[in-house]
Amino acid sequence: MTAVIIIRNGRIIDPINDSDGTGEIWISGNRIVSPGSVDAGDAIRYDAAGSWVVPGLIDMHVHLREPGEEYKETIASGTRAAAAGGFTAVACMPNTRPVNDNGSITTFIRKTAETCPARVYPVGAVSKGSRGEELAEYAEMKEAGIVAVTDDGHPVMNSQMMRRALEYAGSHGLPVISHSEDAALSRNGCMHEGFVSTRLGLRGIPAAAESIMVYREIALAELTGCRMHLAHVSTAASVDLIRRAKERGVPVTAETAPHYFTLTDEAVRGYNTNAKMNPPLRSEADRRVIIEALGDGTFDAIATDHAPHSVLEKDIEFDLAANGIIGLETAVPLTLALVRSGRLTERRLVELLSVNPARILGVPGGTLAVGATADLTVINPTISFVYTEEAVLSKSHNSPFLGQTLTGKAVLTICDGRVGHDELQAR
């Protein structure tokens, strides 16, 4: 492998260094170096004219399904999809089989990911088996490499346990990621509770099932002073609570997913199981507030909640189908749609998809500064393509966006100085 890579003529957007302008990025080994500071005789050269060069994107919420459900996704296939989507790093949720609630599973994930085209940061379980009965061994998992804890997919219903989880995780410098859902309110529901659910005859999940738990999580973060991150926020009421909490200085951060600012519960019509997820797609009013909160700083991150499922879990009756959609390869074009409509700036996009996820998880990345690890993404914001099943690199194809023409995509992804995805040279 040639040690030097030079990317020229791209628009470099680096919020941490307050940089936004045309220039060159030089990479030597696994580091970004000053242009002209090393011998470039054998360098690989890219012409990124018309594209953006940004810090490597970091998805802080994905499901890689390995170990246990490799027929849906593996760490290898998931990271290939991540690199194709522009992500140089992903944080994988612990709801594998077995659950990542101990150091041996964490170590397995890290070792399996060592040669993959994107970094993998394991997230450990809050409770053993994610059963909500007994806290997992955070110290052991931290030593093995976790960057946060969560029982994602299973809300921690016991408030005392969540308080102890915050205090225990906080003592190890780990944030707690909350799957905010009141299971008593959402039980047996399969879509957003509203006009559409009534017309379809499907049991609904009220928005309050999320916002009630968001309120509790904020109260516990305020009580303990420990970091709480709220995952896949979908409702206007939750946004209002988060905004007020931040104004008070509560140590809370939050993410939403591209499907919540792109789709509404109308996508479920026709009993489309590729539009079934948890939390469910909400109303148009919720969607509008989610978009506003991305622009005004209420949200810290955009995460895909990439959730691969096979046809065995999706091509069945709607109320029995699994929740979730894949998202690694569509996040960039869906977010760029907000930039084109003027509701998000380019700088804010980079903050939401790179800078802030690195900060929240406490991992490297989020900058193109000289000396930083060479994790970067080149995005062509204008190229259009049809998102087809044949082009999907994930092992699963459960996406409501299949067949659509999308605009903007990652054309070059470099992780640790190595090219993980390359469509730039072929242009």
Q: Name the binding residues for Zn(2+).
A: 61, 63, 152, 179, 232, 305
From the list 286, 305, 375, 416, the catalytic residue is 305
Whether 93 and 109 have beta carbons less than 8 Å apart is answered as: no
Active site residue 296: no
Taking the C-alpha atoms of residue 209 and residue 20, their distance in angstroms, rounded to an integer, is 41
Say how far apart CA 15 and CA 358 lie, in whole Å: 13
The rounded distance, in Å, linking the Cα atoms of 94 and 65 is 9
Q: How far apart are CA 238 and CA 259, in angstroms?
A: 16
SS (H, E, C) 57-112: EEEEEECCCCCCCCCCCCHHHHHHHHHHCCEEEEEECCCCCCCCCCHHHHHHHHHH
Going by the DSSP 8-state scheme, the letter that residue 130 receives in this structure is: G
Token look-up 């470039």 returns: 40
Burial class (CB in 10 A: 0-12, 13-18, 19+), 279: buried
Q: How many residues does the chain have?
A: 427
Token pair of 235 as six digits: 């409702």
Closest CA to 239 of 255, 222, 220, 225: 255
Q: Which of 330, 329, 325, 342 is nearest to 281 (CA)?
A: 325
106 closest CA partner among 181, 174, 180, 30:
174
Distance of CA 134 to the CA centre of its chain: 27
Binding positions are 61, 63-65, 95, 152, 179, 232, 278, 305, 309
Annotated binding site for substrate: 63-65, 95, 278, 309
Annotated catalytic residues are: 305
